[in-house]
């Protein structure tokens, strides 16, 4: 059963990469960023620019993740996945708070050029020491909707792999030695990858008014999101059922209970509308 799920997950990832490449090549153009004067004077709303940048960056990261999964380097895939998750959170936040556009585009550019600097307390000032604003709050400050229910636990899972966290030592042990050859949680990590990228894809690609190459491409993108959501729903149920049937270990009982709650909250979030995909198919399941 797990091998079948892994094969299905890999096919979905390939579809997302295929459609995402097409979307980047045809639809993602930095309309505002190409005019530096407009950035500095904030003459245009550049929310779309940030979305397209985020999506292009995430597509490239997904390609890297796919190669890592193919080589059973699952832990490093999780390190990169945190980046896509942060891209999704910030993009969704900006969609609902477009008035904060400077925080995402102008300020980072001016900080990179050293026209702005960050003082103690995260205060951003220009070269005349005029206060411009504050540094962004980070991912936790961008969570919205049903993302709030699972964010803290899921982000903690992602961060375990980004840092040298002894809590995942088992991934690198083959008693009595250390090892770099274990293929750890190949299905679970694929689920995480599909979960995150689907949210980003749904919130940017499958929205009303978005520019697609043609009707056929648009329909393929919408069907892909539906296919992914249905697959994720079944896979979350698979893991929840597995946890319930394998919860006898005294050492892992709190961890298992925690993972079950995380899976339930992530599954519930699948039903939240992020774009224009009509999710009545969930009612038929």
Q: Which position has the higher pLDDT, 39 or 183?
A: 183
In a domain, residue 148? The reply is: yes
- Residue 189 gets the label, from left (phi > 0), alpha (psi -120 to 50) or beta, of alpha
Is 120 a domain residue? Answer: no
Mean pLDDT of 199-205: 98
User: Per-residue pLDDT averaged across 13-32, rounded?
Assistant: 93
Amino acid 37: pLDDT: 54
Residue 125 maps to a domain: no
Would residue 135 count as lying in a domain? no
Q: Is the pLDDT of residue 43 over 50?
A: no
CA geometry: angle 76, 81, 87, nearest 5 deg: 145
pLDDT band with cut points at 50, 70 and 90 for residue 125: very high
pLDDT more than 90, % of the chain: 78
User: Would 119 be classed as within a structural domain?
Assistant: no
Q: For residue 132, is it within any domain?
A: no
Return the bridge partners of 178, or none. Answer: 173
Q: What's the pTM value of the predicted model, to 2 decimals?
A: 0.93
Nearest to residue 59, comparing CAs of 103, 13, 11, 8? 13
- Number of domains making up the chain: 1
Nearest to 267 by CA among 174, 179, 149, 162: 149
Q: Is residue 81 part of a domain?
A: yes
pLDDT for position 40 = 52
Reading the block at residue 60, the tokens are 């490239």
Closest CA to 222 of 237, 210, 235, 236: 210
| Low-confidence winner among 12-16, 208-212, 216-220 (lowest mean pLDDT) | 208-212
Q: Is residue 244 over pLDDT 90? A: no
pLDDT at 45 over 70: no
- 215 lies in which domain range? 2-111+141-284
134 in any annotated domain: no
């Amino acid at each position: 059963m797990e091998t079948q799920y892994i094969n299905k997950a890999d096919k979905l990832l390939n579809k997302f990469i295929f459609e995402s490449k097409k979307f980047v090549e045809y639809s993602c153009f930095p309309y505002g960023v190409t005019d530096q004067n407009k950035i500095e004077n904030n003459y245009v709303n550049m929310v779309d620019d940030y979305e397209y940048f985020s999506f292009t960056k995430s597509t490239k990261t997904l390609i890297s993740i796919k190669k890592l999964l193919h080589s059973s380097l699952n832990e490093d895939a999780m390190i990169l996945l945190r980046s896509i998750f942060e891209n999704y959170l910030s993009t969704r936040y900006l969609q609902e708070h477009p008035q904060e556009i400077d925080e995402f585009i102008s300020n980072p550019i001016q900080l990179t050029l050293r026209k702005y600097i960050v003082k103690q307390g995260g205060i951003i000032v220009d070269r005349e020491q005029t206060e411009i604003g504050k540094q962004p709050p980070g991912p936790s400050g961008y969570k919205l909707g049903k993302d709030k229910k699972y964010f803290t636990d899921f982000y903690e899972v992602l961060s375990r792999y980004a840092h040298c966290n002894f809590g995942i030592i088992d991934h690198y042990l083959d008693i009595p030695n250390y090892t770099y050859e274990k293929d750890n949680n190949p299905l679970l990590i694929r689920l995480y990858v599909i979960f995150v990228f689907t949210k980003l894809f749904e919130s940017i690609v499958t929205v009303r008014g978005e520019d697609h190459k043609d009707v056929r491409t648009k329909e393929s993108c919408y069907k892909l999101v539906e296919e992914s959501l249905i697959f994720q729903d079944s896979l979350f149920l698979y893991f929840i059922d597995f946890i319930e049937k394998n919860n006898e270990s005294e050492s892992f009982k709190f961890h298992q209970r925690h993972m079950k709650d995380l899976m339930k909250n992530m599954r519930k979030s699948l039903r939240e509308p992020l774009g224009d995909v009509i999710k009545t198919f969930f009612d038929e399941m």
